[in-house]
Structure 1
Amino acid sequence: MIKRILLSVSLFMSLVAHAQNGTPSIYSFYGIGEVTFRGSVENRSMGGVAVFTDSIHINLQNPASYGSLKVTSFSVAATNNKTRFVTNSVNDNAGRTSIDYLAFAIPISKKFGAGIGVLPYSSVGYKLQTLASGTNTNNRRYEGSGGLNRVFFSLAYNFSENLSFGTDLQYNFGQIETSTLATIEGVQFGSREVSLSALSGFTFNTGFMYRRKVGKKNTLYSSITYTPGTSINLNNSRSIATVLIGANTENIQSETEVIVPDSKLKMPQRITFGAGFGEERHWLIGAELALTSNNGFANRFDDIQNVNYENGTKISFGGYFIPKYTAFNGYFNRVTYRAGARFEQSGLVVNGKNIEDKAVTFGLGLPLRGTFSNINLGCELGKRGTKAAGLVEERYTNISISLSLNDRWFVKRKYD
């Protein structure tokens, strides 16, 4: 198992060695960037639904799920994004490839399970330019990169066969750099402002999962997670420079450091309710409602005037179907078919418009012959934002792949 993990990590890292920022979204200009989906490819392919317990797959959304693991599991994933930006006058395209997560989980006993991993929380990756015609007019170029990442440790406890509780301890770290270059037509020099924030701090997440048999075959699932609002630290710096503009070059002529006070940013409070119904290892239909309290959330600096934050809502539907989990013949009878949809009001309000995000999803779970391991493929087709109020509509396609390596550890030998 360890050799397979090391080989998979090496192959995975070689594939994403040239990965770019995790998002090309223009809306990553605000706050600490675009908040990424915290979940596995398996759950993402079902619209984000993660209400059920699974004995071989890591569930990153609810820490209570680790109590149901029967095998040691290692999972790693990446996503390729293609986005088309549409306004009332201009269309453009961009793309990114990014690492989604790297996670490891292990069943400690019949009562306990644990997990550890790293994944992004938010990503910044925009490039914007405003051009004015005529002389003595201002042109501006905006660029941003970086984001906030999380290392997490999860521990779950089974109160009974049907009820489990879990908690995440998360350490947040990262760096966000944003720059603005202002030039005037016909003037050789421009000015550039660069703002840098180093982010750090702890957050928490707790969850319950409950399951109950209904009849001989079917199971009713329910779940709840709660993330309290906490603060993270921002170590800020800013510089202003005079730049000589040449043909495809920008040479700094003078640069001044500006004192910017360090600050704290309150992370949103979030609660999620979920319910599902189905036959284990055969089919499932589920739904989730997530409520986010953005009170107190803000941008890193106070010099952005056209944005504010409201409470957010996310609704997800989805499920899976396995024709015959125990089939000896017919590989596609053992494949997991997933599909779902989601609708989200992010709580980000720009120019008076609440930025909405909606998508349909589908995917496949491909078992590796002779093992508990599998390859998971997912596709997400969505739309974010609007063309109204001078904003941008983003039409995106996300293609995701994950490798889930699973094995039994610490099995006592009956014979030597």
Structure 2
Amino acid sequence: MKKLIIISSIMLGGIYVSANAQSGTNSPYSQYGLGVLSDQSQGFNRGMNGLALGLRYSDQVNMLNPASYSAVDSLTMIMDVGLSGQITNFEENGKKINANNADFEYAVALFRLMPKVGLSIGVVPFTNIGYNYSSKYNIGSSEESVLTTSTEMHSGSGGFHQAYVGFGWNAFKGLSVGANFSYFWGTYDKSISVVNSDSYVNSIVKTYSTSVSNYKIDLGLQWQQRMSADNYLTVGATYGIGHKLGADVEAVISNTNTQTNVSDKTTEIVKNGLSLPTTFGVGMSWRHSNKWSAGVDYTFQKWGNLDFPEYDASTGKYVMKSGLLKDRNKLTIGGEWVPNAMSSNFFNRVHYRAGASFATPYIMVNGHDGPKEYSASVGFGLPLNRSVLNISGQWVRSEASGLIKENTFRINIGLTFNERWFMKWKVE
């Protein structure tokens, strides 16, 4: 009972931190869609740039494929917590600026519930929203003696999270199935303020907000085959159920006369305006004894058939529109190497990891495709008795023609506690 209380306290602490943590992004692209997508990987596979679907370990929590839970050792309780810090360089028209962020990433746990069944609980981010920038433009022609300068200020905060319970079952030799059942929640607040230098021109403020409280279900499958004495092939697949989130999205438009300070306020509400996409994933890995493993993942998120709310300036209405989102594809390769896991030499027991990914955007920006994403990572798993300190560095580049370019360098730190809580000691 004490152990269950400890686990529950860690998970509840993770939920609290997730709900109140600073946003993990400063990207202006987070104003579109549901925000900047999180990769949801844990400490061990962040060094492999999020490789997960075909990975199957008895001493790690791999929540991206719940079928992997059935591999957990029967004597082991695994807990894993992680955080990150990053610096991002934004570049537009030859101008550059940097921004720093730190964020709580995840808290997960895994143990054997019964023979052939593993149970995992945890809290992970789904998206992050956080941006604050402004732009200026002139109203009128250059021939006029006086031009009105308008300043547009954009800001937003929020994000969405998952608190999940997952099961993995080894249905029969070589084949495992699993599912994550998540409570999905979050909020966002976005605003656009237009202020004019001419006091005779009205100022306009548009605010968009929502609150989500719903569910998310993800299914997984893994098939593992022993190819020779020391070689194993694992094939994995996942399916995420797409559905409406039941959230109303509100737009409030305030038009203020700067001479009289009188505001005309209009409120528009879009009922049930947000959705989760249907998601498919396949992956494969090859493991050689306890020395090295390598794999590849492909995921597809069907955002393109989802409508999204947008303010229509021509009609003054807040309505659902198609064509604001698009299908997302992501390809990841990665692997790890351990010189000698049983060696007395510390450096021979370190896990050395690397990975790379390419992803297409799921958002449209002013009628054009959003930024493509290129990323790569290297990492280390440092053994600390039965625990592991996972440290990785990741570089992410987001770019699209004519849009802001982002280069992010991120440090991920995760600590995996691997304790034999369920061992029964015999005293003679």
Same fold (TM over 0.5): yes
Asked whether the 8 Å contact 2:246–2:272 carries over to 1, the reply is: yes
- The farther-off stretch of 336-345 and 151-160 is 151-160
* Equivalent position to 2:399, from 346, 361, 385: 385
CA distance 1:306–1:205, change in 2 (3 Å): closer
CA distance 1:299–1:142, change in 2 (3 Å): farther
- The farther-off stretch of 166-175 and 18-27 is 18-27
CA distance 1:9–1:255, change in 2 (3 Å): farther
Asked whether the 8 Å contact 1:201–1:231 carries over to 2, the reply is: no
Q: Output the CA distance in 1 between the equivalents of 2:180 and 2:31.
A: 28
Q: Output the CA distance in 2 between the equivalents of 1:382 and 1:36.
A: 12
Aligned to 1:66: 69
Q: Output the CA distance in 1 between the equivalents of 2:209 and 2:285.
A: 44
Asked whether the 8 Å contact 1:66–1:156 carries over to 2, the reply is: yes
Give TM-score, length-normalised by structure 1.
0.89
* 1:196 corresponds to 2:209: yes
* 1:271 corresponds to 2:280: yes
Give TM-score, length-normalised by structure 2.
0.86
Task: State the SS of the aligned residue for 2:44.
Answer: helix
Asked whether the 8 Å contact 1:152–1:170 carries over to 2, the reply is: yes
Aligned to 1:366: 382
CA distance 1:290–1:383, change in 2 (3 Å): same
* Equivalent position to 1:81, from 86, 94, 108: 86
Aligned to 2:112: 107
* Equivalent position to 2:296, from 267, 287, 296: 287
Q: Output the CA distance in 1 between the equivalents of 2:187 and 2:14.
A: 24
Aligned to 2:141: none
CA distance 1:228–1:258, change in 2 (3 Å): same
Asked whether the 8 Å contact 1:343–1:359 carries over to 2, the reply is: yes
CA distance 1:191–1:23, change in 2 (3 Å): same
Aligned to 1:352: 368
* Equivalent position to 1:96, from 89, 94, 101: 101
* Equivalent position to 1:38, from 24, 37, 40: 40
CA distance 1:6–1:148, change in 2 (3 Å): closer
* Equivalent position to 1:341, from 356, 366, 379: 356
Aligned pair count? 405
Residue 79 of structure 1 and its aligned partner are, at CA, apart by 1.1
Task: State the SS of the aligned residue for 2:39.
Answer: coil
Aligned to 1:165: 177
* 1:127 corresponds to 2:132: yes
* Equivalent position to 1:230, from 221, 224, 243: 243
Residue 128 of structure 1 and its aligned partner are, at CA, apart by 2.2
Residue 155 of structure 1 and its aligned partner are, at CA, apart by 0.7
Residue 110 of structure 1 and its aligned partner are, at CA, apart by 2.6
Q: Which amino acid aligns with 2:325?
A: Y
The CA deviation string for residues 354-373 of structure 1, in whole angstroms up to 9 with x for no partner, is 5210111110001112xx21
Give unpaired runs (5+ residues) of structure 2.
139-145, 314-320
Q: Output the CA distance in 2 between the equivalents of 1:349 and 1:195.
A: 18
CA distance 1:267–1:9, change in 2 (3 Å): closer
The CA deviation string for residues 79-124 of structure 1, in whole angstroms up to 9 with x for no partner, is 1121111122422211211111111211112311111111111111
Q: Output the CA distance in 1 between the equivalents of 2:245 and 2:215.
A: 7
The CA deviation string for residues 163-214 of structure 1, in whole angstroms up to 9 with x for no partner, is 2110011121111000111100143973322221011221211111121112
Q: Which amino acid aligns with 1:210?
A: W
Asked whether the 8 Å contact 1:32–1:300 carries over to 2, the reply is: no
Asked whether the 8 Å contact 2:164–2:181 carries over to 1, the reply is: yes
Residue 242 of structure 1 and its aligned partner are, at CA, apart by 6.3
Give unpaired runs (5+ residues) of structure 1.
246-251
Q: Which amino acid aligns with 1:23?
A: T
Provide the alpha-carbon RMSD of the alignment. 3.0
Paired-residue identity, %: 25
Asked whether the 8 Å contact 2:80–2:109 carries over to 1, the reply is: yes
CA distance 1:306–1:110, change in 2 (3 Å): closer
Q: Which amino acid aligns with 2:206?
A: E
Aligned to 1:176: 188
Q: Output the CA distance in 1 between the equivalents of 2:249 and 2:368.
A: 28
Asked whether the 8 Å contact 1:25–1:125 carries over to 2, the reply is: yes
Task: State the SS of the aligned residue for 1:173.
Answer: strand
Structure 2 matches for 1:390-409, cutoff 5 A? 390-409=402-421
- The farther-off stretch of 74-83 and 261-270 is 261-270
Q: Output the CA distance in 1 between the equivalents of 2:209 and 2:306.
A: 19
CA distance 1:92–1:18, change in 2 (3 Å): farther
Residue 299 of structure 1 and its aligned partner are, at CA, apart by 3.3
Aligned to 1:411: 423
* Equivalent position to 2:22, from 20, 23, 31: 20
Q: Output the CA distance in 2 between the equivalents of 1:411 and 1:8.
A: 22
Aligned to 1:219: 232
Residue 20 of structure 1 and its aligned partner are, at CA, apart by 2.4
* Equivalent position to 2:50, from 48, 51, 55: 48
Asked whether the 8 Å contact 1:288–1:316 carries over to 2, the reply is: yes
